Amino acid sequence: MELKPYQAGVIRDLDRYLHYVQQEQRYDVAYNRYWQDEVGDYDPLNNTGMRPYQNNVPGTPHVCVKVPTAGGKTFIAVNALHTLFNAFATDKPKAVVWLVPWSNLLDQTVRNLSNPAHPYRQKLNSLFNHRVAVYQKKDLLQGANFSPAVVQQQLSIFVLSFGSLRAKKKEDRKIFEENGALATFASQFESDDHLLADTDQTALINVIRSLTPVVVVDESHNAESDLSVDMLRDLNPSFVLDLTATPKKNANIVSFVSAIELKKEQMVKLPVIAYNHKEKSQVVESALNLQRQLERLAKVEQKAGGRYIRPIVLFQAQPKTGDDNTTFEKLKQQLLKLKIPEEQIKIKTADINELKDIDLMSPKCPVRYIITVNALKEGWDCPFAYILASLADRSSAVDIEQILGRVLRQPYVMRHQNDLLNVSYVLTASAKFTETLQSIIRGLESAGFSRNDYRSSDEQPVDAAPQTTAQALQGFLFPESSESASDEIEPEKIQFDPGDIADETPVEVLPTLAAITQIAVTKNQEFEQQINQQASDVPSPLFQELGDKVKKISINQDFAALAQQLALPQFYLAVPQTGLFSQGERVLLNQEVLLNGFRLADEDIKIDWNTVETDLYKIDIERTQGNQYRPVFLQLDNIQIKEAFVEYILTKPKAGQIKDLAHRMLQLIGNMYPIPDQQIKLYLERILSSFDAERLKDLLAREYTYRDKIKKKIRALADLHAEGQFEKLLVVGKISVEPNFTFRKTIVPGLLGKSLGKSLYAHEGSMNGFEERIISELAALPNVLFWHRNLGRGKGFAINGFKSNHYPDFIVYTQSGTLILLETKGDDRDNSDSAAKNRLGRTWAEQAGRQYKYFMVFDTHRLADTYTIAEVKELVKQL
């Protein structure tokens, strides 16, 4: 199981924040810098920019990741652990406290992280060399396979509930009590600075505090009270990572995932199609028949080679009241009267759990109808749930938001052939439908989907053609009827044939069901078109998610008409006509394609180790007065590797040394997509096999500096191979340049630069002194019409090709219609790959046509085929 693109983006965002921490050596300043560079300065008067860091857990970095329901928060967290521990000093024990709010979520988390066959555990094993242990509270209290020696050599994950640390119940207070089973930890304490007041040193809480764990808070919106903050402080964490779909106002969010990203990756069944009926019997009738229709479609797809799907209805029953109106027991009896087999109906409430030990995804499972109230509100995942049928009183607003998220997950994370299998359904019979609509909106918001994404519809009769706006995730809503209607479910009024689903005899489609399915097909297609449109209109889903907080800079109207007619060319690759490429025979070129056939393991391992040096810093922990720890920053070369660890490695046979160190270096190098990890590992083993004992000791003492050298070598080899492939494909006509990139009406440059004349946008992005000097001189030329500070990281124009996307610093346009890409190189810049970028830029200009130019400009020490300021100024004058 690999990260989806948006999940990998979350890990990159976290890693980028940690790089800011290393640079600033303060986690609060780093957070503020991180967002200033992304969206600009914070302006409280206009509520733009990201609010400054909130010191929720004093002395501890505390950040949040916002991921909607069904976005894979747990898998993101599993990968984030590797990123976090790579930011810490190497001799720090890898301890994690994984906090969850409910017992069912605790059981699910323990099961998934412990099961060797589950993708979560498989990823942990891959990232941490199979040295992973998962503990529950009872394991820790008993000291089961839990000792100072064990935790030093592995990743230790302690899965605990919020209640365990809030200590309201007697059984939960055991964490704070004396515990002889943990005495070996107490004997290892170098001091008692970490001890919690009024607790014995052998108490589990003090053992955890001594490990200064990374804390993962799942569903963190449930942990915002003062009591919850005290809970986090009691753990003495080195880092706190919140996971939630709905962050609280004081959350320090470092990464957003939008609903659109989930839909693009087929993680969710959106839009939600909502239909309001006249009475409850019609809700049941539509739910039963819709389930039957969806299952028939699923069987057709399966016969054509698709995956097994058995759509499930969630019946939201009325809570028990004095009138006992439509309770779960009564609803089950009414379904049985319709001759539905009892094995297909299960009840899941706070007191009854008929789903225990049932695998709902199994083809052998008969369950098609689940009756609940709100027991499924969180911590329950079954992508076969398609229909939420609410049977609350017609006279009350329906509390749909509690369980709406349960029908949003997409089976097998893939788009299905029939549109009806790509959306989810909410069926109601509410006399207060306007309030029910708000409940649906709240439900989507509680699942992490933005209100900006919702649709609304005008009230109209049920049999009229719907007229809707095109703004939405939510779907189509029909008004309540003024006719009198029964609040009881009357089975004799329901048309439903519970016969064998394998019977393919055509059946009559009820008018209401025909209306629902027609709406679903139409709206799913409209929604997918909307996603494609937003992808071209919005530079990043992040900016859509932040909404008005992002200060957007408008295009200068003096140049808007001309600039928006321009389409900058990019490289395209000719590909065979296959089902993989539905857009035609040419696709946008990327380095991944050019690395097909690249075998890193066979490449040369010549690296100059005599120039190994670094000025990077890593996070470490030191004690402070007042029984607290705090993060500090140590220069890498000053981190002392424990002699015991060095001896442990060096006393192993050479094969064992190579295996352990290759794994360690692979984890430090991290993802180098599209180069497979296995190829990197084999390459590392070849390098390490050439080391003698002294070189291995040096690597252990300065492993991060060795990592940087190896990573740079791998990137250079990959670039060299990609460039060779690029040249061959160019010669044989497989690569062409075609118009693609257009200037947007608004941009989000982050930090702004000085106001200079002839800029394409009202304000341009920040620039260093050399960049300001060169663009000032060029803008002063009479033949320059406008210029633009090109943005990076997916915001601006990239020259795609054998280098991973190259974003030139400036785009300059002259009166004669010549478009110039300008890359600047001051003397303080690392020019290691400048020559390759220059070759790519010059090739782009040659292929794009006479009206396109590329200049690389150096301050003083320039490369061949590049320019000084004076030279490029003279050239631009003539264009």
| DSSP track, 635-684 | EGGGPPPPHHHHHHHHTS-HHHHHHHHHHHHHHHH---TTS-HHHHHHHH
Lowest-pLDDT range, 247-256, 532-541, 646-655? 532-541
Listed in sequence order, the DSSP H helices in 87-203 are 103-114, 119-127, 137-142, 148-152, 162-166, 183-188
> Does residue 559 surpass a pLDDT of 90?
yes
What are the tens digits of pLDDT across the range 473-511?
444 444 333 344 456 778 888 888 887 666 566 666 788
> Does residue 434 surpass a pLDDT of 70?
no
Cα distances (angstroms) measured from residue 856 to each of 380, 752, 765, 815, 838 = 56, 23, 19, 21, 6
> Which pLDDT score, from 0 to 100, does residue 775 have?
94
The type of residue at 295 is: E
More confident residue, 344 or 227: 344
Listed in sequence order, the DSSP H helices in 400-552 are 433-446, 511-537, 541-546
Residue 135 pLDDT grade (very low, low, confident, very high; cuts 50, 70, 90): very high
Q: How many CB atoms within 10 Å of residue 693?
A: 10
> Which pLDDT score, from 0 to 100, does residue 543 have?
67
Interhelix angle 643-650/654-669, rounded to 10 degrees, is 120
Residue 663 pLDDT grade (very low, low, confident, very high; cuts 50, 70, 90): confident
- SS3 label, residue 566: coil
What are the tens digits of pLDDT across the range 698-723?
888 788 788 889 998 999 999 999 99
Domain residue ranges in the chain: 5-257, 265-533, 600-729, 742-877
Sequence-distant (≥ 6) Cβ neighbours of residue 517 within 8 angstroms = 290, 293, 420, 509
Residue 828 pLDDT grade (very low, low, confident, very high; cuts 50, 70, 90): low
Q: How many CB atoms within 10 Å of residue 656?
A: 11
Answer whether 408's CB lies under 8 Å from 367's CB. Answer: no
- Token pair of 552 as six digits: 């957007």
> Which pLDDT score, from 0 to 100, does residue 536 have?
54
> Which pLDDT score, from 0 to 100, does residue 480 have?
38
d(CA 558, CA 839): 34
> Does residue 692 surpass a pLDDT of 90?
no
The type of residue at 351 is: D
The CATH number of 742-877, from 1.10.10, 2.160.20, 3.40.1350, 1.10.3210, is 3.40.1350
Mean pLDDT across the chain: 81
Say which residue the tokens 């930011």 belong to: 87
Residue 396 pLDDT grade (very low, low, confident, very high; cuts 50, 70, 90): low
The DSSP call for residue 5 is H
Answer whether 34's CB lies under 8 Å from 102's CB. Answer: no
Sequence-distant (≥ 6) Cβ neighbours of residue 388 within 8 angstroms = 314, 316, 400, 403, 404, 406, 407, 424, 425, 426, 427
**How many CA atoms lie within 13 Å of 355's alpha carbon, on the beta-carbon side?**
22
> Which pLDDT score, from 0 to 100, does residue 433 have?
62
What are the tens digits of pLDDT across the range 302-351?
998 899 999 999 998 876 655 444 577 888 888 999 899 999 999 888 77
> What pTM, to 2 d.p., does this model score?
0.77
- Token pair of 870 as six digits: 């004076």
Most confidently modeled range among 375-389, 449-463, 668-682? 668-682
What are the tens digits of pLDDT across the range 50-72?
889 998 888 889 999 998 888 88
Cα distances (angstroms) measured from residue 288 to each of 104, 368, 495 = 29, 9, 9
Arithmetic mean of pLDDT, 558-578: 86
- The kind and range of the H/E element at 737 are strand 735-741
> Does residue 101 surpass a pLDDT of 60?
yes
The type of residue at 425 is: Y
Instruction: Find, among 537, 682, 540, 707, the residue nearest to 618 by Cα.
Output: 707
Instruction: Find, among 351, 350, 348, the residue nearest to 382 by Cα.
Output: 348
Cα 633 → chain centroid: 28
> Which pLDDT score, from 0 to 100, does residue 164 have?
81
d(CA 449, CA 257): 9
- The kind and range of the H/E element at 784 are strand 784-789
Q: How many residues does the chain have?
A: 879
Sequence-distant (≥ 6) Cβ neighbours of residue 597 within 8 angstroms = 725
Arithmetic mean of pLDDT, 613-634: 52
d(CA 405, CA 385): 10
Structural class in CATH, domain 5-257:
alpha beta
- Token pair of 212 as six digits: 């200064």
